[in-house]
A and B are shown apart, each in its own frame.
Chain A
């Protein structure tokens, strides 16, 4: 829809909305700062922060103040100081793109399904409308899919940031050996499928008993 993104981003039609290339490589005409420049400022901020910490430790108040002032000038770019290349600032685009679209498509489908169910409920035909009930059963799982896609959008789409612009995920991670994380993963892998099988078996049993059995 023409003009809609401009309206969403800047609340006016026909404004400039920077794309990925503009954001990464900069766009002088539109005054968009590129990541390379932000990285330079960020590296300066990282260095000034270190100088500040060092000066404070050696109880040199004057040097600490100078370093702090220099840091404050660039502090909003702190996180960029940890990036290796400008391209690192771009999240995996296709993963975020498709998971977002799947989520939105499902999110648009569910209300339609609800309205259809409501309609057939009022007509007192819901119990005999087989095709709609089938959609209902499938939609139980589609709900899980939509939910997971939402998580993917949020967590993949935010990369590389733990805190936007200030702290990349690679700096925020716990200082822990790979083996520990793998061991935890396999613990989850052992326990959760076991409990899932139990849950599914219990559910199937209850479904086969049906509402008459209660």
Chain B
């Protein structure tokens, strides 16, 4: 059956798969959000260790998903990978560095003789959760605002801005998307910790977490509104049947109206996140992370689908419209996509394994007595 799929269908399947991985990553940024909450919600060593150990059991999953997102894009849309990772060089290198710093920090923070001291490693975690997520948001923002590159006949990229990708962070739209993701990650982080930790005799700690969910939600709202309104109002990049790219007024509004399913994903996703926040703050629910997580995934899907479907170049160039990348001109060959689709049939197995391990890991809530033993971070 897979062997008979048309090239165009395969390209769409792979854009959907990449979008799913990217959206799952946005949900899993609860780890990054949690990293940044550490300084505000934990008031003593035990609370500190509870936060770190709770997140320390999940950070690899987030990191792996980010790598998988890059890997899937590399395999399915290699021209995007070659253009963006070599071209928007600094934004990707800096994201990489914030994740390098994070990777060792959980492990080293509490070990005796760790050279830099626990506070430094906690600072690394903070940098990862703020700068890292902000830059990822800015990079995703360029899917709509465009980047500064030209491709020659041999697909060699020339970046036309000396900041090599960092200029993405100086657009109000991209910056707002980045800040929204930072605050959303903090909302998710708070909900995750509420769900994952056993708060017996730690009522004040629990109350601080609930408060932080509310405050970060309120902080996220203006950026979300700005991003949404701009997205609907802005000129967008559009590609016609001959492959010619042009600017079209309200392109992304048109995309949402042309694809009601995507509009539905966006609205349902936003409602789920809001319901989760209200439930966490006013109904003292501990299950908010699941609702908000699903909501975040749906919003993420809507964002990626709006960027890539309905004759829209997902990686547009504002320096040279005709260099813009679409899922049609940036994808791997039909042969490669077909082979990859067979391999992708194994994805449900991987997801089932992840879900199984997650359940095993979290079958008992993390309690204070656990974080004082030798095995803890």
The 8 A CB mask of A171-214 against B (1 = contact, 0 = none) is: 00011100010001001000100110111011011100100001
Q: How far is the CA of A96 from the CA of B200 in the complex (A)?
A: 62
Q: Is A170 an interface residue (CB 8 A)?
A: no
Are A176 and B112 touching (Cβ within 8 A)? no
Q: Which residue of the partner chain A has the closest CB to B162?
A: A177
By beta carbon, the residue of chain A nearest B121 is: A198
Residues in A with CB closer than 8 Å to B153 are: 50, 53
| Known A176-B164, A201-B115, A202-B112; contact A191-B100, beta-carbon cutoff 8 A | yes
Who on chain A is nearest to B158 by CB?
A175
Residue B63 lies at the interface, judged by CB distance under 8 Å to chain A: no
Q: Are A197 and B90 in contact (CB under 8 A)?
A: no
Could you say which residues of chain B place their CB within 8 Å of the CB of A187? Answer: 93, 97
The contact of A205 among B87, B113, B158, by CB within 8 Å, is B113
Instruction: Indicate if B157 sits at the interface (CB-CB under 8 A).
Output: yes
Could you say which residues of chain A place their CB within 8 Å of the CB of B114? 198, 201-202
A-B contact count (CB 8 A): 51
The distance in angstroms between the C-alpha atoms of A25 and B157, with both chains bound, is: 35
Q: Which residues of chain B are near A206, meaning CB under 8 Å?
A: 111
Write out the residue numbers on chain A whose beta carbons fall within 8 Å of the beta carbon of B115. Answer: 194, 197-198, 201-202
* B164 touching A191, Cβ below 8 Å: no
The reply to whether A205 and B111 form a contact with Cβ atoms under 8 Å apart is: yes
Contact, CB under 8 Å: A214 / B113: no
Tell me if B108 is interfacial: C-beta within 8 Å of chain A. Answer: yes
Give the residues in chain B near A194, CB-CB below 8 Å: 115-116
Cβ–Cβ contact B113 & A191, under 8 A: no
Complex: A174 Cα to B87 Cα, angstroms: 8
The answer to whether B104 has its CB under 8 Å from any CB of chain A is: yes
Contact B164–A180 (Cβ < 8 Å): yes
Whether the Cβ atoms of B86 and A176 lie closer than 8 Å is yes
Once the chains bind, are A176 and B113 in contact (CB under 8 Å)?
no
Centre residue among A175, A197, A198 by max chain B CB count within 10 A: A198
Q: How many residues of B contact A (CB 8 A)?
A: 23
Instruction: Assess the B90–A202 pair: CB atoms within 8 A.
Output: no
Contact B90 A174 (CB under 8 A): no
Contact partners of B290 in chain A: CB under 8 A: none
In the complex, are the beta carbons of B108 and A191 less than 8 A apart?
Answer: no
* Number of chain A interface residues as a range: 20 to 34
**A205–B113 CA distance with the chains assembled, in angstroms:** 7
B49-103 contacts to A (CB < 8 Å)? 86-87, 89-90, 93, 97, 100-101
Provide the residues of chain A in CB contact with B93, threshold 8 Å. 184, 187
Chain A CB within 10 Å, residue with most, of B93, B111, B113: B113
Are the C-beta atoms of B90 and A180 separated by less than 8 Å? yes
CB distance from A94 to the nearest CB of B (A): 31
Report chain A residues within 8 Å CB of B158.
175
Instruction: Let me know if B30 is at the binding interface, CB within 8 A.
Output: no
Q: Scan B143-163; emit 1 where CB is below 8 A from any A CB, else 0.
A: 000000000010011110000
How far apart are the CA atoms of A195 and B89 in the complex, in Å? Answer: 24
A194 CA to B108 CA, complexed, in Å: 12
Residue of A nearest to B153 (CB): A53
Residues of chain A contacted by B101 (CB below 8 angstroms):
191
- A191 to chain B: closest CB distance in Å? 7
- Report which of A53, A174, A209 forms a contact with B89, defined as CB distance below 8 A: A174
Q: Which residues of A contact B108 (CB under 8 A)?
A: 198-199, 202
A204 to B115, CA, bound (A): 12
Flag whether B374 is at the interface (Cβ < 8 A).
yes
B111 contacts A202, C-beta separation under 8 Å: yes
The minimal Cβ–Cβ distance linking B222 to chain A, given in whole angstroms, is: 34
Q: In the complex, how many angstroms separate the beta carbon of A17 from the nearest chain B beta carbon?
A: 34
Q: For residue B101, which residue of chain A has the nearest CB?
A: A191
* B188-206 interface (Cβ within 8 A of A): none
Complex contacts, B116 vs chain A, CB 8 Å: 194, 198
Least CB distance, A199 to chain B, in whole angstroms: 8
List the 6 shortest-distance A-B pairs measured between CB atoms, nearest first.
A174-B86, A205-B113, A198-B115, A53-B153, A202-B111, A201-B113
Chain A interface residues toward B at CB < 8 A: 50, 53, 174-176, 180, 184, 187, 191, 194-195, 197-199, 201-202, 204-206, 209, 214
Q: List 11 additional A-B contacts (Cβ < 8 Å) besides A180-B164, A198-B114.
A: A53-B153, A174-B87, A174-B157, A175-B86, A175-B157, A191-B100, A195-B104, A201-B113, A201-B114, A202-B111, A204-B113
